[in-house]
Structures are given as C-alpha cells and as structure tokens.
Amino acid sequence: MTTAPADSEKSNIQTNFHVVSTSAQPSPCSVEATITVEPSAAVPSATAPTVQSSNEAVIPKRRSRRTRWMMWMKLAIMLLIAGGLYLAVRKSLHLLDENDHGWNFQPWWLISATFVYTLSLFPSGLFYWLGMRGLGQHPSLYRSVRSYYIGHLGKYVPGKAMVPVLRAALVCGPRVTTAAAVAAVFLETLTWIASGAFWGVAYLIIAYRSAWQTQPWLLFAAVGVVVGAALPTLPPVFRFALTLLQKCFPRKAESLSSLKRLNFRTLGLGWICSSVVWWGMGAAYWLVLRSMNVGIDYFPISTLPFCMMTISLAISISFLILPLPGGLGLRETVIYALMTTVFFAGTTEPEIARSIAALSAVLFRLISLGGEVGVSVILYLIRPPRETMDETIR
C-alpha cells in the first residue's frame, strides 16, 4: 500500500519516543535507532576533551587588557586633576599671604558665597541636559547635572581637555552617544562664555564709558570672546562644522548626522540659563567682598551689577588662554584691573583699594574651588541608576 512507508515511519518515531522516555534497558537496535533519529540528544562524555576555540581564548585577554588600560587612564586623570587643584590652591594661598594686611574676615559670608556660587552653576547643568536633548539624545536630568558638575574639575588640567572627557565618560550610555555628549559640552561652554562676555561688555559700555576708554584691551578682548564663542554655536555654523567632521571621519558620519538638530530655540534657552549663572556668580563675588568687613558703605546691594560685570569679564577673558588651568592668574588680573581702575577710580586710599582688589580675587578663586570640589565629591558618591533603553543608541 502507498501508506506503508508513512505508517512505518510513524511506528519508528513512536518506538524511539518510548525507548527514550520509558525504557530502562533498551535493546541495541532501539538504541541505534534513537541515536539516528535524535542525534542532538546525545550527552558528551565527562572524560571527553573540551576544545576551546581561538576566539574564546583571545576575548578574555582583550577584556583584561582593556580593563587595565581603563584603570591606568582613570588614575592618570585623577592625578592630573589633583595636581591642577594643588597648584591653584597653592598659588591662591601665596597671593593671600602677600596681600594680607590684618583683614578681619567673616566666615559666614564666605560660606554663603561658596553655597551661592555652587548653586549658580545649576542652570548651566540644566542647559547641558537640554542641549543633549536638542541633539536627539535622551539622558536623565540627574546624570546630566552630575556629569556637568564633576566635569568642572577637568578645567584645572592644562588645556581644559579633561572637561569633555569627564562629562562624556559620566553621561554616555544607552541613551547618549559619545559624539552627542562631547558636542553638548562645547555647546554649553561656548554659550556660557559668549553670554558672559556679552553682558560684561554691555554693562561696561553703558555704566563705565570712561573706564573702557582708559582700559581698551578689556573691551577688545571681551568683544573678541563674544564673537569667537557665539559664532560656532549658531545652528547653521554648527551644522556646517558637523558636515566637515563627517568628511574627516567617515566612520562616524551616521552618528554625527543625528546631531544636526540644533535650533535657535535650544540656543535661546542656553542664553537664558547662562545669564542666570552670571548673575549668581556676581552675587557670590559680592558676598566675598562683604566678608572682608570693610563696611556696607563700600559694597551696598547696588554694586551687584558691577560684581556681575567683573566676574563675567574675568572668567570669559581668561578662557582665551587654554593652557592656563582654570584661567589661573589671568582671571585674578582682570578682577584686579577692574576693581582698581573702575570701582576704586579716584579713591583717596589706593593702598586699601589694591589690597581689597587682590584679596577678593584670591578669595573668589578659593570659594569656587571649594564649591566645585565639594559638590563633585558628593555627586560622585551618589551614583545614578543604570539607564536602559529598548534600542541602544550607537
């Protein structure tokens, strides 16, 4: 009959199933049939030698080398940051000793200044988060702000190259690409510097016309910072720069193409956030001046705009010299020049004026160092939860 082969195959399968499932002592024929029908069910012998492929042997070695390399890189970065912080503190304390004329400092004003300075940085951290979202990424707010604050320690390494390295390493993950994290660092930093130089120049021209005529280098330097920092952040220029990078790095063309979403709305939010930062830093500098206990007549609340102008110009102009760690030296020079030639212009006590100018610059450096290091340590210990995403961004 034509159905005989099918019936025979069905019978063999049933017999084999019975042998595998229930037979305690299978016959040689049934065992042979079982091995033929179900070869995958065979269990290798415990004494059989295990053959390891060459790829499986190489992968652990590569991982161990990469782990050691990352460990040494982290150690090198920590040493560079520690060295930069040490030099900054050492120089600041040296200047403090040179200009100490028996001032009776009030510590609560300095503590308040440290707190206000640290808090004033938050809007820039918020813009760092908004910038990455504007570039098509999806980071969490805490992870973004945490990487922003800790990244400030990288500016004390000569060249400031550690800033994007630290922030990208702390924020990258399934929701953020490395290219987007680095691009957002430059977007946030340049916007912050450009806005500071802009507001500083605007107030200097409006309120102290005679001052910038006697100190033209401040005006020209600040205008140069505004143009040089703001131009790359304009969306058309930003997209053009990405196009050039795509040609230089064709392997990263796809990831760079996704960053061309920057628009003027995101840039406008950046200018608003950065402006708040500068007014907060100006308030911190005003608290530093009040801590010197020279009297309210010297520094009433009406001097707050001048403090904002001084700090914004000092930090923005010091950004021009990239090798300087944190603008060390140049920032203090600009503060000293503005205080002595603008604020204390025509004073009858020039020695006291020079002492206040020098000491306030050094104290502002110390409270900024203390605030950045303190909040970085706290945020580093409070690690964010792991981020997951259905589709990993590459």
DSSP 112-177: HHHHHHHHHTHHHHHHHHHHHHHTT----HHHHHHHHHHHGGGGGSTTSTHHHHHHHHHH-BTTB-
Q: Does some domain include residue 82? A: no
Check whether 40 has a pLDDT greater than 50.
Answer: no
pLDDT tens digits along 90-131: 665 565 555 555 556 788 999 999 999 999 999 999 999 999
* 356 vs 42 pLDDT, higher one: 356
Question: Quick one: pLDDT at residue 261?
Answer: 87
Q: In total, how many domains does the chain have?
A: 1
pLDDT attached to residue 253? 73
In a domain, 257, yes or no: yes
Q: What is the DSSP letter of 61?
A: H
pLDDT of residue 300: 86
Does 313 have pLDDT greater than 80?
Answer: yes
Is 210 contained in some domain? yes
Domain residue limits at 175: 105-381
Residue 207 within any structural domain of the chain: yes
Most confident of 114-118, 261-265, 337-341: 114-118
Q: Does residue 21 register a pLDDT over 50?
A: no
pLDDT at 312: 95
371 found inside a domain: yes
Count CB-CB contacts under 10 A for residue 322: 12
Q: Which of 383, 360, 372 is nearest to 92 (CA)?
A: 360
pLDDT in tens, 365-378: 989 989 999 999 99
Looking at per-residue confidence, does 19 or 139 come out higher?
A: 139
pLDDT of residue 16: 43
Q: Point out which residues pair with 176 in neighbouring strands.
A: 173
Q: Would residue 80 count as lying in a domain?
A: no
Q: Is the pLDDT confidence value at 246 over 90? A: no
pLDDT at 280 (0 to 100) = 96
pTM of the model: 0.74
In a domain, 36, yes or no: no
Query: Of 142, 145, 164, 177, which is closest to residue 77 (Cα–Cα)?
Result: 164
Does residue 177 form part of some domain?
A: yes
Contact in structure between 163 and 151 (CB atoms under 8 Å): yes
